[in-house]
Amino acid sequence: MVAVIGNVLTGVEVAALREAAATLAFQDGRATAGRYAKDVKQNEQARGGAALEAILEKVRTALDGHELFRSIARPRHFTRMLLSRYGPGMEYGAHVDDAIMAGARTDMSFTLYLSEEDSYDGGGLIIQDAVEERRFRLAPGDLVLYPTSALHRVEPVTEGTRLAVVGWVQSWVRDPAQREVLHDLDVAAAAVFAQAGKSAHFDRLHKAKTNLYRMWAEG
Protein backbone atom coordinates (compact mmCIF):
# COMPACT_ATOMS: atom_id res chain seq x y z
CA MET A 1 0.00 0.00 0.00
CA VAL A 2 1.32 3.43 -1.00
CA ALA A 3 -0.20 6.42 0.75
CA VAL A 4 0.25 10.19 0.60
CA ILE A 5 -0.32 11.83 3.99
CA GLY A 6 -0.71 15.58 3.98
CA ASN A 7 0.15 18.14 6.66
CA VAL A 8 2.29 15.90 8.85
CA LEU A 9 4.11 19.11 9.77
CA THR A 10 2.76 22.66 9.72
CA GLY A 11 4.34 25.39 7.66
CA VAL A 12 5.87 26.90 10.79
CA GLU A 13 7.33 23.52 11.81
CA VAL A 14 8.78 22.92 8.34
CA ALA A 15 10.38 26.37 8.29
CA ALA A 16 11.95 25.73 11.69
CA LEU A 17 13.38 22.38 10.54
CA ARG A 18 14.79 23.93 7.37
CA GLU A 19 16.45 26.66 9.44
CA ALA A 20 17.93 24.05 11.78
CA ALA A 21 19.10 21.93 8.83
CA ALA A 22 20.97 24.91 7.37
CA THR A 23 23.38 24.77 10.34
CA LEU A 24 24.26 21.08 9.89
CA ALA A 25 27.26 19.48 8.21
CA PHE A 26 26.47 16.99 5.44
CA GLN A 27 28.43 14.01 4.15
CA ASP A 28 28.36 11.65 1.17
CA GLY A 29 25.10 9.70 1.29
CA ARG A 30 26.84 6.50 0.22
CA ALA A 31 27.95 6.09 3.84
CA THR A 32 24.64 4.39 4.65
CA ALA A 33 23.93 2.74 1.30
CA GLY A 34 23.81 -1.03 0.94
CA ARG A 35 26.33 -3.01 -1.09
CA TYR A 36 24.58 -2.58 -4.43
CA ALA A 37 22.97 0.81 -3.82
CA LYS A 38 26.33 2.55 -3.35
CA ASP A 39 26.92 2.55 -7.09
CA VAL A 40 23.69 4.45 -7.83
CA LYS A 41 23.41 6.76 -4.82
CA GLN A 42 24.50 10.37 -5.31
CA ASN A 43 23.22 12.57 -2.52
CA GLU A 44 24.18 13.97 0.85
CA GLN A 45 22.96 13.27 4.36
CA ALA A 46 23.34 15.20 7.59
CA ARG A 47 26.05 14.06 9.98
CA GLY A 48 24.94 12.66 13.31
CA GLY A 49 24.86 14.77 16.44
CA ALA A 50 22.56 16.50 18.88
CA ALA A 51 21.29 19.05 16.34
CA LEU A 52 20.32 16.37 13.84
CA GLU A 53 18.71 14.23 16.53
CA ALA A 54 16.57 17.19 17.59
CA ILE A 55 15.23 17.49 14.03
CA LEU A 56 14.53 13.78 13.76
CA GLU A 57 12.86 13.69 17.17
CA LYS A 58 10.39 16.38 16.06
CA VAL A 59 9.53 14.19 13.06
CA ARG A 60 9.13 11.07 15.24
CA THR A 61 6.83 12.95 17.60
CA ALA A 62 4.69 14.20 14.70
CA LEU A 63 4.40 10.71 13.19
CA ASP A 64 3.67 9.04 16.54
CA GLY A 65 0.78 11.46 17.00
CA HIS A 66 -0.60 11.19 13.44
CA GLU A 67 -3.68 8.97 13.34
CA LEU A 68 -3.53 8.13 9.63
CA PHE A 69 0.18 7.27 9.74
CA ARG A 70 -0.37 4.99 12.73
CA SER A 71 -3.36 3.31 11.08
CA ILE A 72 -1.47 2.48 7.89
CA ALA A 73 2.00 1.69 9.26
CA ARG A 74 1.19 0.22 12.71
CA PRO A 75 4.67 1.37 13.82
CA ARG A 76 6.46 -0.73 16.39
CA HIS A 77 9.52 1.49 16.13
CA PHE A 78 11.52 3.55 13.66
CA THR A 79 14.52 1.53 12.55
CA ARG A 80 16.37 4.50 11.04
CA MET A 81 15.80 8.12 10.01
CA LEU A 82 18.03 10.34 7.88
CA LEU A 83 18.00 13.93 6.69
CA SER A 84 18.86 13.80 2.99
CA ARG A 85 19.84 16.56 0.58
CA TYR A 86 20.07 16.56 -3.21
CA GLY A 87 21.72 19.36 -5.18
CA PRO A 88 22.00 19.81 -8.95
CA GLY A 89 23.13 16.63 -10.68
CA MET A 90 22.39 14.38 -7.70
CA GLU A 91 20.08 11.38 -7.93
CA TYR A 92 19.47 7.92 -6.48
CA GLY A 93 19.11 5.16 -9.04
CA ALA A 94 16.74 2.20 -8.82
CA HIS A 95 17.20 0.22 -5.61
CA VAL A 96 15.38 -1.62 -2.85
CA ASP A 97 16.02 -0.66 0.77
CA ASP A 98 17.76 -3.01 3.18
CA ALA A 99 15.56 -5.65 4.80
CA ILE A 100 17.30 -5.25 8.16
CA MET A 101 18.44 -1.96 9.70
CA ALA A 102 19.84 -1.52 13.19
CA GLY A 103 19.04 -5.14 13.91
CA ALA A 104 15.34 -4.85 13.02
CA ARG A 105 13.20 -5.81 10.03
CA THR A 106 12.05 -2.91 7.82
CA ASP A 107 8.45 -2.98 6.61
CA MET A 108 7.59 0.54 5.44
CA SER A 109 9.61 3.49 4.15
CA PHE A 110 8.68 7.15 4.07
CA THR A 111 9.84 10.44 2.60
CA LEU A 112 8.80 13.63 4.39
CA TYR A 113 9.32 16.65 2.15
CA LEU A 114 10.84 19.85 3.58
CA SER A 115 11.70 21.91 0.47
CA GLU A 116 9.20 24.21 -1.22
CA GLU A 117 8.06 22.66 -4.49
CA ASP A 118 9.17 25.67 -6.55
CA SER A 119 12.63 25.83 -4.94
CA TYR A 120 14.03 22.92 -6.98
CA ASP A 121 13.49 21.12 -10.27
CA GLY A 122 13.49 17.34 -10.75
CA GLY A 123 13.96 15.10 -7.73
CA GLY A 124 10.73 13.14 -8.07
CA LEU A 125 10.45 9.91 -6.07
CA ILE A 126 9.56 7.10 -8.46
CA ILE A 127 7.99 3.99 -6.93
CA GLN A 128 7.71 0.97 -9.20
CA ASP A 129 5.30 -1.95 -9.04
CA ALA A 130 4.32 -4.70 -11.45
CA VAL A 131 1.91 -2.45 -13.36
CA GLU A 132 3.30 1.08 -13.43
CA GLU A 133 5.66 3.68 -12.05
CA ARG A 134 4.26 6.40 -9.80
CA ARG A 135 5.98 9.75 -9.33
CA PHE A 136 5.74 11.72 -6.09
CA ARG A 137 6.82 15.31 -5.58
CA LEU A 138 4.98 16.73 -2.61
CA ALA A 139 4.51 20.00 -0.76
CA PRO A 140 6.63 20.65 2.34
CA GLY A 141 5.20 18.91 5.38
CA ASP A 142 3.59 16.14 3.30
CA LEU A 143 4.76 12.53 3.35
CA VAL A 144 4.65 9.50 1.09
CA LEU A 145 4.57 6.11 2.84
CA TYR A 146 5.32 2.94 0.88
CA PRO A 147 6.42 -0.69 1.31
CA THR A 148 10.15 -1.03 1.88
CA SER A 149 10.06 -3.98 -0.52
CA ALA A 150 9.25 -1.67 -3.47
CA LEU A 151 11.84 -0.85 -6.12
CA HIS A 152 12.21 2.93 -6.22
CA ARG A 153 14.50 5.78 -7.27
CA VAL A 154 14.93 9.55 -7.03
CA GLU A 155 15.15 11.45 -10.31
CA PRO A 156 18.08 13.82 -10.87
CA VAL A 157 17.73 17.28 -9.37
CA THR A 158 18.47 19.80 -12.11
CA GLU A 159 18.22 23.02 -10.12
CA GLY A 160 17.92 24.02 -6.46
CA THR A 161 18.01 21.78 -3.40
CA ARG A 162 15.71 18.92 -2.41
CA LEU A 163 15.64 18.43 1.37
CA ALA A 164 13.70 15.61 3.01
CA VAL A 165 13.60 13.32 6.02
CA VAL A 166 13.58 9.68 5.00
CA GLY A 167 12.87 6.85 7.39
CA TRP A 168 12.01 3.22 7.88
CA VAL A 169 9.46 1.58 10.15
CA GLN A 170 9.17 -1.87 11.63
CA SER A 171 5.46 -2.56 11.92
CA TRP A 172 3.68 -4.57 14.59
CA VAL A 173 2.07 -6.38 11.63
CA ARG A 174 4.54 -7.93 9.20
CA ASP A 175 2.09 -8.80 6.39
CA PRO A 176 1.16 -5.80 4.17
CA ALA A 177 -2.22 -7.31 3.25
CA GLN A 178 -3.09 -7.63 6.93
CA ARG A 179 -2.04 -4.04 7.56
CA GLU A 180 -4.33 -2.91 4.75
CA VAL A 181 -7.26 -4.88 6.21
CA LEU A 182 -6.72 -3.25 9.59
CA HIS A 183 -6.56 0.20 8.03
CA ASP A 184 -9.80 -0.44 6.11
CA LEU A 185 -11.46 -1.49 9.37
CA ASP A 186 -10.18 1.67 11.06
CA VAL A 187 -11.80 3.76 8.33
CA ALA A 188 -15.06 1.79 8.49
CA ALA A 189 -15.25 1.92 12.29
CA ALA A 190 -14.66 5.68 12.30
CA ALA A 191 -17.44 6.16 9.74
CA VAL A 192 -19.90 4.03 11.73
CA PHE A 193 -19.06 5.89 14.93
CA ALA A 194 -19.47 9.28 13.23
CA GLN A 195 -22.89 8.27 11.92
CA ALA A 196 -24.39 6.42 14.89
CA GLY A 197 -22.04 6.80 17.85
CA LYS A 198 -21.12 3.86 20.03
CA SER A 199 -23.78 1.56 18.66
CA ALA A 200 -24.02 -2.23 18.69
CA HIS A 201 -22.75 -2.27 15.08
CA PHE A 202 -19.76 -0.12 16.02
CA ASP A 203 -18.96 -2.35 19.00
CA ARG A 204 -19.01 -5.49 16.85
CA LEU A 205 -16.84 -3.89 14.17
CA HIS A 206 -14.38 -2.52 16.72
CA LYS A 207 -14.21 -5.93 18.39
CA ALA A 208 -13.36 -7.63 15.08
CA LYS A 209 -10.67 -5.08 14.26
CA THR A 210 -9.09 -5.28 17.72
CA ASN A 211 -9.05 -9.06 17.76
CA LEU A 212 -7.53 -9.26 14.29
CA TYR A 213 -4.83 -6.85 15.41
CA ARG A 214 -4.20 -9.02 18.46
CA MET A 215 -4.02 -12.11 16.23
CA TRP A 216 -1.62 -10.59 13.69
CA ALA A 217 0.64 -8.41 15.84
CA GLU A 218 4.13 -9.70 16.53
CA GLY A 219 6.08 -9.24 19.72
Q: Average pLDDT, whole number, for the chain?
A: 96
pLDDT above 90 for 32: no
In the DSSP assignment, the letter for residue 209 is H
User: Looking at domain 3-171, which CATH architecture does it have?
Assistant: Sandwich (2.60)
Percentage of residues in the chain with pLDDT exceeding 90?
93
In the DSSP assignment, the letter for residue 130 is S
pLDDT average, residue stretch 117-121:
97
Burial label, 115 (beta-carbon count in 10 A; 0-12, 13-18, 19+): buried
pLDDT at residue 65, as a whole number: 96
pLDDT above 90 for 6: yes
* Of 62, 70, 64, 107, nearest in space to 186 by CA: 70
CA–CA separation, 84 and 90 (whole Å): 11
Burial label, 34 (beta-carbon count in 10 A; 0-12, 13-18, 19+): middle
pLDDT average, residue stretch 12-36:
92
- The model carries a pTM of 0.94
pLDDT at residue 129, as a whole number: 85
Q: Which residues pair with 86 in a beta bridge?
A: 162
pLDDT at residue 115, as a whole number: 98
pLDDT above 80 for 34: no
Question: Sorting pLDDT into bands at 50, 70 and 90, what band is 40?
Answer: very high
